[in-house]
Amino acid sequence: MKFKILGSGAGIPSKSRNTQSYILDVVEELNQYFLIDASEALQHRIMSTTIRPAKIKHIFITHLHGDHIFGLPGFLSSRAHQGGEGVPLYIYAPAGLKEWVELTLRTSASHLNYPIHYIEVAHNMEFDADGFKVKSYLLDHAIESYLYVFIEPDKPGALKDEQLKRLGIQPGPFYKEIKQSDTFEFDGQIYNTSEFMNPPTEGRKVAVHGDTRVIQHPDYLDLVDGSDLIVHEATYLDGEGEKAHLYYHSEMSEVQKNFSSISYGKLIFSHISNRYDQEQINSISSTLPENMLLAYDFMEITIPRDSQ
């Protein structure tokens, strides 16, 4: 599982940062990509990667501000000619997106050759994206904006084949039967499967934020707690917390402080305003502990198991 940043900027694109689009690469797990937000020039960005548009099957839109959705129509239209024929697409987004996409496709006479399923997101929902659990949480922004928490399913442990062999059971089709039920019978005796299995590997957890103020609600912190990766906005990087609050955004050090009571693997600050130049970025970046990073375009992070 990898996290890829196609656009790490806020509001208006700059030469160094495009506006927000993210990829959660679950190719190894599900042979597909989850897309989070779809800023203008998303399809142009994808051209510079090895991502095949048809392998994007679930799109999660955090909120409807233009810098998060204006690349959606172009992506949808082009996907139809880029292997997407007949490959259904699921779009999770706040109310209003469906109506806009549909009028856009109608106005531009774009005929898609695959179905789109729209899922209207609200607070505290839970979706199943091909086995991944995805939870939504309503953030604190000028308009309805969501956090999406992606939870990989636990991976069942392997059978303890030494113990099975001691009972006299040899590797073979019976192993599969054992794995599939809670108990099994051998030589007239009933056994609990759990005693013959290694513990499961816990699935990873990735929390990706839409634009928001810092949120201190315990339900929110509980939900984010234990994430292997948190991606949070930091439109303001350098001690302008009041201004950030006023404009419904976050300031980096306040995000850091807010997460001091929870555990996590890595924390990426993204959605960075383009008023910071590279020198400032470098200087701020050098003050961060090892598990915190400032996002940049085309950044790629591998999310290891048990990273926190």
Active-site residue, selected from the candidate residues 67, 128, 228, 277: 67
Q: Least Å distance between CB 7 and its own copies?
A: 11
- Residue 291 has, within 13 A of its CA and on its CB side, a CA count of 16
Q: With H, G, I as helix, E, B as strand and everything else as coil, classify residue 27.
A: helix
Q: With H, G, I as helix, E, B as strand and everything else as coil, classify residue 62.
A: coil
State which of residues 66, 131, 200, 304 lies at the interface with its own copies (CB under 8 A). 66
Q: Least Å distance between CB 68 and its own copies?
A: 8
63 assigned to a ligand binding site: yes
Q: With H, G, I as helix, E, B as strand and everything else as coil, classify residue 269.
A: strand
Site string for its own copies, 135-164 (x = CB under 8 A): -------xx---------------------
232 assigned to a ligand binding site: no
Which neighbouring-strand residues pair with 65? none
Nearest residue (CB) to its own copies, 75 versus 132: 75
Tokens 């024929």 belong to 85
- Residue 101 has, within 13 A of its CA and on its CB side, a CA count of 24
- Does position 23 interact with its own copies (CB under 8 A)? The reply is no
Q: In what side-by-side order are the strands of the sheet with 227-233?
A: 126-129, 132-138, 146-151, 205-209, 227-233, 264-270, 292-294
Nearest residue (CB) to its own copies, 9 versus 265: 9
Q: With H, G, I as helix, E, B as strand and everything else as coil, classify residue 60.
A: strand
Residues binding its own copies: what is the number (CB under 8 A)? 36
The CA distance from 117 to 34, in Å, is 15
Q: Could you tell me which residues come within 8 angstroms of residue 283 by beta carbon, excluding any fewer than 6 positions away?
A: none
- Residue in 87, 86, 92 with CA at minimum distance from that of residue 35: 92
- Does position 9 interact with its own copies (CB under 8 A)? The reply is no
State which of residues 37, 58, 62, 71 lies at the interface with its own copies (CB under 8 A). 71
Residues found in the chain: 308
Binding span for its own copies by CB under 8 A among 42-50, 122-130, 230-238, 247-255: 42-50
Tokens 């922004």 belong to 141
Please indicate whether residue 67 is annotated as part of the active site.
Answer: yes
State which of residues 1, 9, 17, 18 lies at the interface with its own copies (CB under 8 A). 18
- Residue in 267, 195, 262 with CA at minimum distance from that of residue 228: 267
- Does position 277 interact with its own copies (CB under 8 A)? The reply is no
271 assigned to a ligand binding site: yes
State which of residues 104, 253, 256, 291 lies at the interface with its own copies (CB under 8 A). 104
Residues that bind its own copies (CB under 8 A): 11-15, 18, 40-41, 43-44, 47-48, 64-66, 69-71, 73-74, 77-78, 81-82, 96-97, 99-100, 103-104, 107-110, 142-143
Residues identified as active-site: 67
Which residue ranges are tagged as binding site for Zn(2+)? 63, 65, 67-68, 141, 211, 271
